[in-house]
Amino acid sequence: MAKIRERWSGRTAFLLSIIGSAVGLGNIWRFPYIAFKNGGGAFLIPYFLALFTAGIPLLILETGIGQKLQGSAADSFKKINKDMEWLGWLALLVGMIISTYYAVVIAWCWNYAYHSISLAWLSQGANDFFNNSVLQISSGPGQLGGIVWWVLLGLVLTWGAIWFIISRGVKWLGKYNQVMIPIALVMLLVLLFRGVTLEGAADGLGKFLTPDIGKLLDPNVWLAAYSQIFYTLSLGFGILITYASYRRRDEDVTNNALITGMSNSTVEFLAGITVFSTAGFLAANVGTSIEQMSISGPGLAFKTYPAAIGNLPHFAPFFGVLFFGMLLFLGTTSLISLIEAVVCGLRDKFGIGRLPATTLICLVGFAFGLLFATRAGLYWLDIIDHWTNSYGLTMVGLAECIIIGWFYKSKTLRDFANSVSEVRLGGWWDICIKYITPGVLIITVAYSLIQEFAAPYEGYTLWPRLAGGWFLITVIIIIAIVLMKTKSPESRAHGPAVVLFLFFGMLSMLAIFNIDYLGIYSDYIVTTMNGFAESTLETEQVSGMSASSWIILLIGLTILLGTLFTAIRIAFASEKRKRIVSQK
């Protein structure tokens, strides 16, 4: 007898769960800086184009696959073609690798939430506190220096919470997201309101929103927009496929994807307002410029923002706990989705129970995460994050587009989505999946590789780049093939899997022998691409919010909130009709 698949308790639980997966730490600390660096308000033009030509189409693709085929990423690709199961496992393994260091970042948040009560960083400065007290950072990736016990304690708390939530099943997971996502969003709105009411906030928002139209001539800006969309929507992990498989086959696909994409981008936009208004306050308070501050990545969350909190005139500890509590909630909902996708893959493949599968994956994640709890943890986090996101995820996304667009036929999936959805897809979706998205991903990977061999990433020596980069990606491809062959010996790892393995194996050899495979041309291409930014038009530097900044703010919020509320209204109307029909 076929095993009954777990189901969400309702549409709200599903939507908040996939929104919780998409909305994570990157929304807070990555998008604001990317926008600021790439033209301010003008960046919204390529950003929205990327959202509608790549982000939402891929959301529809992944949720459509999971809902139609009713399986994990590995199981779904096996149903498409038994020799393609490895691609699903590759997606899950990339997500598993990312979860090992993502959990450590959440462990830092536990640490800071506790220290916010006393504003402990004020005694030595936010920068020194993060590097020397929290991380106790060593001199390089080769100097592990032992475990940092405060980080280890946070890691135990994180994995314990993840195990507790996931082991109780999909319905419990949905209830958790239905509580935590609204709370996290309220926290963000409180921080936003406090930020925009601070002295200097207008100057910070001016930096964030003032459009530099000349930047649109720079190809790097367009690549950054597509990279941000792909990075932030949890694409390529198998999460959306997994979560959608817990829905009934006859429920909406397209409008759910639209709501998810617009919700995620709305949070990013609001986070940008929050971050830059607060950064403007700090700059005015300490007499520096925003350009000289750390406003991206861990530096924003654990250096700049704590420094700003420490300078608040009133209730600083409250806002410290609020900020790091928000990061905890957003981080755990994203981490849960990464682990649930792997748990689902193991259960579908090997038929094991939820509790043993969850226990196994959490123990493995905790064990590998110990590397990032050492004094060299930040270096290894940086290296592995760079390679898994730049190459692992983009390769999965590219393969998905090729397989669905050209072999499974995109029209097949589009017809299915249209048969169950509240919003119909046209031929534009096929064009995005078959041409636009794979084209952009190919260009992005090619340019990343050119930069990789033009200069070592962040100046790291060869062996950590091999261990945490090329070798790691090559090894997880092998593991993906082995998992496919397990219990399915008839499956053949030919074609794309072999090509991908040989490709990364070749890159490993090139790195070992320090070969620039494009010779002098790699330097020429990088110099030419970077030259676009230097030759673009300079905009007049203004203090405060200019008229153009207010226009950008109004247009951005109108597009995001208008589209989001329209999609939600359609969803409510559809659910109301279903209830009326069910009562007859």
pLDDT in tens, 108-138: 999 999 999 999 999 888 899 999 999 999 9
* pLDDT range class, residue 514, cuts 50, 70, 90: low
Three-state secondary-structure class, residue 283? helix
Locate 511 and state its tokens.
Answer: 């790195």
pLDDT of 540 above 70: no
At 165, the amino acid letter reads I
Please give the full DSSP string across 124-136, using - where no structure is assigned. Answer: T-HHHIIIIIIS-
Report the C-alpha gap between 255 and 260 in whole angstroms. Answer: 9
- Write down the pLDDT at residue 470: 80
pLDDT, the chain, mean: 86
- Rounded (10°) CA dihedral 80, 83, 87, 92: 90
* pLDDT range class, residue 287, cuts 50, 70, 90: confident
Residues whose CB falls within 8 Å of the CB of residue 543, separated by 6 or more in sequence, listed in order: 202, 203, 206
pLDDT in tens, 353-387: 999 999 999 999 999 999 999 999 999 999 998 88
Report the C-alpha gap between 577 and 570 in whole angstroms. Answer: 11
Three-state secondary-structure class, residue 374? strand
Closest-CA residue to 95 (of 471, 484, 361, 353):
361
pLDDT in tens, 418-469: 999 999 999 999 999 999 999 988 888 888 778 777 778 888 888 888 888 8
Closest-CA residue to 23 (of 339, 326, 437):
326
Contact 281, 195 (CB under 8 A): yes
* pLDDT range class, residue 494, cuts 50, 70, 90: low
Give 214-281 as a 3 state SS string. Answer: HHHHCHHHHHHHHHHHHHHCCCCCCHHHHHHHCCCCCCCCHHHHHHHHHHHHHHHHHHHHHHHHHHHH
Q: pLDDT exceeding 70 applies to what percent of the chain?
A: 89
Phi-psi region of 318 (alpha: psi -120 to 50; beta: other; left: phi over 0): alpha
- 11-211+219-576 to CATH, choices 3.40.50.720, 2.30.110.20, 3.40.50.970, 1.20.1740.10: 1.20.1740.10
Three-state secondary-structure class, residue 147? strand
Q: What is the radius of gyration, based on Cα positions, of the chain?
A: 23
Locate 510 and state its tokens.
Answer: 């090139």
pLDDT of 535 above 50: no
Instruction: Tell me how crowded residue 449 is: count the other CB atoms within 10 A of its CB.
Output: 18
DSSP at 117: T
Burial class for 576, CB neighbours closer than 10 Å (0-12, 13-18, 19+) = exposed
Is the Cα torsion angle 273, 274, 279, 280 positive or negative in sign?
Answer: positive
Q: Which of 326-330, 379-383, 480-484, 544-548 has the lowest average pLDDT?
A: 544-548
What mean pLDDT is predicted for residues 28-45?
Answer: 86
Locate 109 and state its tokens.
Answer: 């948040």
DSSP at 3: P
User: Which of the two residues, 261 and 498, has the higher pLDDT score?
Assistant: 261
- Write down the pLDDT at residue 74: 94
Is 0.85 topped by the overall pTM?
yes
Report the C-alpha gap between 245 and 66 in whole angstroms. Answer: 5
Three-state secondary-structure class, residue 200? coil
- Write down the pLDDT at residue 486: 84
Q: Which of 168-172, 345-349, 556-560 has the lowest average pLDDT?
A: 556-560
Question: How many Å from the N-terminal Cα to the C-terminal Cα in the chain?
Answer: 32
pLDDT of 96 above 90: yes
pLDDT of 490 above 70: no
